[in-house]
Amino acid sequence: MTDRYDPQTIEKKWQERWAETGLYKRVEDPNKEKWYFLTMLPYPSGDLHTGHWYAMSPSDAGARFARMQGKNVWFPIGFDAFGLPAENAAIRHNIHPYKWTMANIERMRGQLKQMGAMFDWEHEAITCLPGYYQWNQWFFLKFYDMGLAYRDKAPVEFCPNCNTTLAREQVWDGKCERCGTPIIMKELTQWKFRITKYADELLEGLDKLDWPERVKTMQRNWIGRKEGVEFEMQVQGHEGLHFRVFTTRPDTVFGMSFAILAPEHPLVQTITTPEHRAEVEAYVEEARRKTPLMRQMEAREKTGVFTGAYAINPANGQPVPIFIADYVMMDVGTGAIMGVPAHDQRDFEFARKFGLPTPIVIVPKEAWESGDEYTWSEEAARALERALEGKEGTVMVNSGPFTGLAWPESFNQVAEWLEAHAAGERKVNYRLRDWLISRQRYWGTPIPMIHCPNCGVVPVPYEDLPVLLPEDAEFKPTGESPLKYHEGFLHVTCPQCGADAHRETDTMDTFMDSSWYQYAYLSPYWKDGETLSPDDVPWDQAVGEYWLPVDQYTGGIEHATMHLLYTRFFTKVLRDMGLVDFDEPMLRLFNQGMILGPDGEKMSKSRGNVVNPDDYVQKYGADTVRAFLMFIGPWDEGGPWSPQGIEGVHRFLHRVWSLVLDEPKKQAKGEPSEKQVRNLRRATHQTLIKVTNDYENFKFNTMIAALMAFTNTLNAAKETEVYGTDAWEEAIETLLLMMAPAMPHISEELWARLGKPYSIHLQSWPQADPELAKEEEVEIAVQVNGKVRARITVSPEASKEELERLALANERVQKWIGDKPVRKVIVVPGRLVNIIAK
């Protein structure tokens, strides 16, 4: 008789033992293949929620599996500890962000330990500690030295609720990514990182990465590389006055029937004629007031006003009216466009609204090749119903000397002509913008810059780092950094001339912290309290040499165009600094899906469908919660939490418990037959093949299903003569080893109770024998005219001829064939026979 499965006791026991024996200690072993396995670090919001469990426990199973396969796995963890919630808590509850954050970390650390993951706590990093963020400042200075950090006065996205500017990546659908408030534009001087310098490399690097296509596509779209031509348009009647337009379609230049400037375009004031001034100014004013979200929602209806001025189309010398319209934006291209209504949907809508002509200048190749002008003007007339935007297989018409040119020749020749005659140049345009780093908040890394009345912007000398975030500050959300009102922080003497100067009071975007944390983990708080120099390396280089880069990264897809883009950028800069010798920070990426509430909706307090994992860990134990989360469905798809579903998984663990420890109900006497032994071993090795393959591909749901099926098989076999044989022991051992990565506690406990050496997590992954896994006989479906009419049992090696003979000999098959002549027999060895008789 044995005691019942009691997860509370055994989980606590083993977690302590693992910690005591340093089971997950990092060791740089040159004889083993290193495997840096990383899961996105959590924000210390207060409690570990189900989403954290869903992200981290399958990740842990993946890491443990890699380890059993003989890799030297390192699985570090830390906390992304700067950020707005801490500051908001300070404002609401009058508790200091530091205290709030550290208390949360304390609690979450405990919860994380209950998960039983193989985290290496010795290298934990907390980003809000000076020993960490001093390196943010050090990097900032480095970026500044390299010309990658600069100050720029421009309209920037601003969240009026969070009271801070945002990077473009943090604006989702015109709203703040954090709080959902529609953002507004503000003209501010802000620090930016020149990520656009790496646009091409960020794009090309994607091809080499073993990342989900989804993420790669999102990054490609975000970077938005477009090849085109920029050229000059003269304003009629203003000698020498011109503006530049960018187009990806120079081949349509003869179709230009108007030009548009963005309302904010600097030339608007100059060219507007007196009789249109009032109207234009009113329009500009209105455009300024609109938030980007409003502009977006009104996107359907084209608006604009005529400036009274005309520009000359350089291609044909014709004047075209210049409008201003808010569908042209100042920060895209040159802030001015040529309007080609026949071949651009938006221009088409605009022209229709303002009654502008719509000349056709490209037609499909087939229309052109028919050779007669009538056909392609017919085609053109049809195109007039709707703008024709294709470029592959089109030919230029009504385009003077260029008429008859086909894409891509049309592009090239017009581009050359514009280069020669309209100050044109081929240009690549990107959607990507430089990364806006400044935040007007307290709880972040101070930007290490000084504003001197004599010297202008002066960097803090490296040896003066870190610029400490003062502990006392007023947390009043004013839209300006709280540091601005902290006299002790603000005032400083200029390191260059000694004059009274003041510090930069903005802090850094917290995505700065996570852009390099995979390097910080190597040696957290490296040189904390020491004097820094420009020649430093922010981590122990020897350790980095061994572990970098990250081999496997897991985390949510919501970071596709934020963190995952920034950290790639950072790594490329680090490489240019000579700190690393690779181009990409994370070689493989897996995005888990989202865990939903029992109602299938996103968990949220307002919906009242939040599942607290602690309750379930309390009731069923961590192993059950882990296994259930893996069992729900494909890890990358997520799915709803099911309170009944977790019961089923828990029952499975109980079944394993009694399978391994309890005596059979009826002791079968005598020796097992050879066949019984073979069947058992076959089940063992077939399951092992399946489970190994599933772990490798993070298909945890079918992995657990296979373990359940195997357990069911073993439960039946237990009551037969095979119980207690070598084959039986092999089966039980293999079962526990296969469970170990996913359910680390129960497998360790049962392993110990079988008298095996500590620890199961130090064992090698068992080797599957494909010979033993082979089926002895297979059931073949026999179809007559595509419908299964009989089944025959044969050896898997049975030849095609034999299968055909056996199938035709079958009585039931004969009945269905009747007297119809057999026309064809399809034989798929090992699968089926299909007899066509008609």
Partner RNA sequence: GCCGAAGUGGCGGAAUUGGCAGACGCGACGGUCUCAAAAACCGUUGAGCAUUAGGCUCAUGUGGGUUCGAGUCCCACCUUCGGCACCA
Question: Where does this chain touch RNA (CB under 7 A) — which range of 44-52, 105-113, 325-333, 725-733?
Answer: 325-333
Q: How far is the CB of 253 from RNA (least distance, A)?
A: 11
393 part of the interface to RNA, by CB under 7 A: no
651 binds RNA (CB under 7 A): yes
Shortest Cβ 241–RNA spacing (Å): 20
Q: Closer CB to RNA, residue 352 or residue 812?
A: 812
CB-facing half-sphere around the CA of 232: CA atoms within 13 A: 13
Q: Tell me whether residue 67 or residue 718 sits nearer to RNA (CB atom).
A: 718
Contacts with RNA in 294-313 (CB under 7 A)? Answer: 295-296, 298-303
Which one of residues 655, 769, 806, 808 is an interface residue with RNA (CB under 7 A)? 655
Between residues 230 and 506, which has the closer beta carbon with respect to RNA?
230
Q: Least distance from C-beta 826 to RNA, angstroms?
A: 4
Q: Which of residues 260-279 bind RNA (CB under 7 A)?
A: 262
Q: Quick one: tokens of 638?
A: 């997520």
Q: Find the shortest distance in angstroms from Cβ 648 to RNA.
A: 3
Which one of 15, 257, 429, 679 is in contact with RNA (CB under 7 A)?
Answer: 429
Q: Verify binding: residue 561, RNA, rule CB under 7 A.
A: yes
Q: Which is nearer to RNA, 146 or 822 (CB)?
A: 822
Among positive and negative, which fits the CA dihedral 114, 118, 122, 125?
A: negative
Per CB under 7 A, the segment of 37-45, 333-341, 412-420, 751-759 that binds RNA is 333-341
Contact 372, 328 (CB under 8 A): no
Does position 226 interact with RNA (CB under 7 A)? The reply is yes
How many angstroms from the chain centroid is the CA of residue 237?
52
Q: Residue 742 CB, nearest distance to RNA (Å)? A: 13
Binders of RNA in range 760-779 (CB under 7 A):
778-779
Nearest in space to 39 (alpha carbons), one of 17, 21, 16, 63: 63
How many residues bind RNA, per CB under 7 A? 88
- β-pairing verdict for 72-74 and 34-39: parallel
Q: Which stretch binds RNA (CB under 7 A): 48-56, 341-349, 523-531, 615-623?
A: 341-349
Closest approach of RNA to the CB of residue 520, in Å: 28
- Closer Cβ to RNA, 118 or 738, answer by number: 738
Q: State the binding string over 12-51 for RNA (x if CB under 7 A, else -).
A: ----------------------------------------
Contacts of 343 (CB under 8 A, 6+ apart): 249, 252, 255, 361, 362, 387, 388, 389
CB of 527 to RNA, least distance (A): 38
The closest alpha carbon to 314, from 220, 423, 156, 214, belongs to 423
Write the interaction track for RNA spanning residues 171-190; mark x where CB under 7 A is met and - where it is not: -xx-----------------
Closest CB 790 distance from RNA, rounded Å: 8
Q: List binders of RNA among 703-732 (CB under 7 A).
A: 704-705, 708-709, 712, 715
Nearer to RNA, 314 or 446 (CB): 314
Amino acid type, 375: T
Of residues 50-79, those binding RNA (CB under 7 A): none
Q: Phi and psi for 431 in degrees, rounded to 5?
A: -80, -30
Determine, following the binding rule CB under 7 A, whether residue 814 of this chain makes contact with RNA: no
By CB under 7 A, is residue 753 in contact with RNA? no
Residues near 59 by Cβ (< 8 Å), separated by ≥ 6? 37, 39, 117, 554, 592
Which two tokens mark 635?
Answer: 């890890």
Contact with RNA (CB under 7 A) among 104, 247, 438, 552:
247
The 3-class secondary structure across 657-698, one letter per residue, is: HHHHHCCCCCCCCCCCCHHHHHHHHHHHHHHHHHHHHHHHCC
Q: Which of 154, 209, 218, 806 binds RNA (CB under 7 A)?
A: 218
Stretch that binds RNA, among 45-53, 192-200, 343-351, 577-585 (CB under 7 A): 343-351
Nearer to RNA (CB atom), residue 335 or residue 766: 335
Residue 699 found at the interface with RNA (CB under 7 A): yes
- DSSP strand pairing (550-556 vs 586-592): parallel
- For residue 219, give the 3-state DSSP assignment: helix
Site string for RNA, 610-649 (x = CB under 7 A): ---------------------xxxx--x-xx-x-xx-xxx
Alpha helix segments (H runs only) across 479-608: 487-490, 511-514, 517-520, 541-547, 563-577
Using CB under 7 A, pick the residue from 100, 119, 191, 222 that binds RNA.
Answer: 222
Is residue 785 near RNA by the rule CB under 7 A? yes
Asked if 695 and 741 count as a contact pair (C-beta separation under 8 A), the reply is: yes
**DSSP structure class, residue 78:** E
Nearer to RNA by Cβ, of 48 and 171: the residue is 171
Give DSSP secondary structure letters for 369-421: HT--HHHHHHHHHHHTTS-----TTEEE-S-GGGTTPBTTHHHHHHHHHHHHH
Give the CA angle between residues 694, 695, 700 to the nearest 5°: 70
3-state secondary structure of 806: helix
CB 245 to RNA: min, Å: 7
Smallest distance, RNA to C-beta of residue 429, A:
6
Distance separating alpha carbons of residues 572 and 574, to the nearest angstrom: 5
Q: Using CA atoms, how far apart are residues 489 and 508, in angstroms rounded to an integer?
A: 16
Q: What gap in Å lies between CA 382 and CA 366, rounded to an integer?
A: 14
Q: Is 788 one of the binding residues for RNA (CB under 7 A)? A: yes
Those residues with Cβ within 8 angstroms of residue 608's Cβ, 6 or more apart along the chain or in another chain: none
Q: How far apart are CA 506 and CA 16, in angstroms?
A: 44
